[in-house]
Chain A
Amino acid sequence: MLSPMKRPISFPIDSNKLDYLRRSKQFPLLNTKYLDDVPDTAVEPFDLALKDYPKFKNTQAEDLIKLRLMVHQNELNERFRNWQIKLLRYIEINYANLKTKERSYGRPVAVRVILFNQLLALFVEIYLHTGDLLYFNTALKVADLKWAAPANKSPKDIYLLREIKEKQIEAILNELTHG
């Protein structure tokens, strides 16, 4: 089990919202802390089973959504931990060359944007669940990647996800600053 570095921030959610969030495929709005309303984005459910971590170039947004669901359901098992450490290390170690690497992987820009915004969401949510600032630190770095920010052709959901995560980041920074 991860040992929280600080007091973890728990987020309240009732069973109706939980079921609603599970049904959302592209944009599960997990973690409602700092949110007033949860927008309506219901779509079909998908297979929740998470495979072993592949290389980052083979990681898909769907994998990251599954990880976010696992955080939300507090299912932080060994497979989850392996994913989270590998993702963190990949981003941190390759941070200076991330854009070059992404280009070499040949992912379409739209897919890349969705992937990195789900990654941003995952890191923020890991922090909110465990209090581990390592993940918030990396989330800030992912948020700084201008080339990974939602672009003109991104789905509307991704803009909304980004906006929500930026709002959460601001609130977390405020809480860290003022105690």
Chain B
Amino acid sequence: MDKKLIVFCPNPYSLYTNTVCELLLRKGYHIELIVVRKFTLQRFKNEFARDGKRLLRKIWNKLVLREKAYTDKADSIVSFRRDNNLSITNITQFQKQGTKILRCRNLNDKSIEKALNQYDEKLVIFTGGGIIRKNILDRAGDGIINCHLGILPKYKGMDLPEWCLLEDEPDQLGITLHFMDTGIDTGDILRKVKVVPKQPDSIRSLRSGFEPVMVTEMVRVVSDYLNGKVERQPQPKSNKRQYFILHPKLYEIAEAKLKQLVES
């Protein structure tokens, strides 16, 4: 029996979600269901409590400006989409291919449990939307694949590219495709990919440069997993170290280190 592909998504306009889904379609895969979070006041309050003022900039860039947020010429998801003639910018467009859309307040809602229970064999692709709890993880079939912006098992948590630079470990810049579990970035690893920065002039453009790698590797690992070409590798349980949001003063130092790295 073919596994059903289900995608979890933070908002209907997510460039990452739309790009991954369109690439999967091009490879001949059918996306059975996209689960997308609604915009609610409670969601805003929760995310603001977690991210503070960073959330406002995130909302402005991702929901208001969208592709226009990418004004420089650096490698980014926008340049990747342009180079690959990718055009879908709203998940509702996938409905034409028979994809169902389910809107929810929270990715851990009972409605998601019910939706997942409808399918025996499934694989979930996480493209954003918040923490996933055990009730959903237990119903996710083979599991939920995430693209983590750091090389696991060492770099768990947040702001990992910045931490790599700060700790003078630029060779640890990269991504990890892994299954999610109840821990923070502790699930089984599918693939690690190092990313070599292409002359970025800032951390922002460094991060933009990760985006094309994230989408291509996510699609590649999903395809390889479904074809039995990649195996899950459990992470050692002993390493629980987690990184947190970088203080602005240390962010400046990380950025200075990036500039030195590029110049050398």
Residues of A within 8 A of B (CB): 5-6, 85, 89, 92, 96-97, 133-134, 136-138, 140-141, 144, 173, 176-177
Contacts and interface: CB of A to CB of B under 8 A. Distances in A.
Interface of B: 48-52, 163, 166-168, 240-247, 249-250, 253, 256
A137 B167 contact: no
A92 B244 contact: yes
A133 B244 contact: no
- Listed from nearest, the 7 A-B pairs whose CB atoms lie closest are A140-B247, A92-B244, A96-B49, A176-B253, A137-B247, A5-B167, A137-B250
A97 B50 CA distance: 9
Contacts of B247: 137, 140-141, 144
Given A134-B244, A137-B244, A6 B167 contact: yes
A134 B241 CA distance: 10
Given A6-B167, A133-B166, A137-B244, A96 B50 contact: yes
Given A97-B49, A133-B166, A140 B250 contact: yes
Given A5-B167, A92-B245, 20 more contacts: A6-B168, A85-B240, A89-B242, A96-B48, A96-B51, A96-B52, A133-B166, A134-B241, A134-B243, A136-B250, A137-B246, A137-B250, A138-B244, A140-B249, A144-B247, A173-B249, A176-B250, A176-B253, A177-B253, A177-B256
Contacts of A138: 244
Contacts of A97: 49
Contacts of B49: 96-97
Contacts of A144: 247
A97 B52 CA distance: 10
Contacts of A176: 250, 253
10 contacts: A89-B242, A92-B245, A96-B50, A137-B244, A137-B247, A140-B247, A173-B249, A173-B253, A176-B250, A177-B256
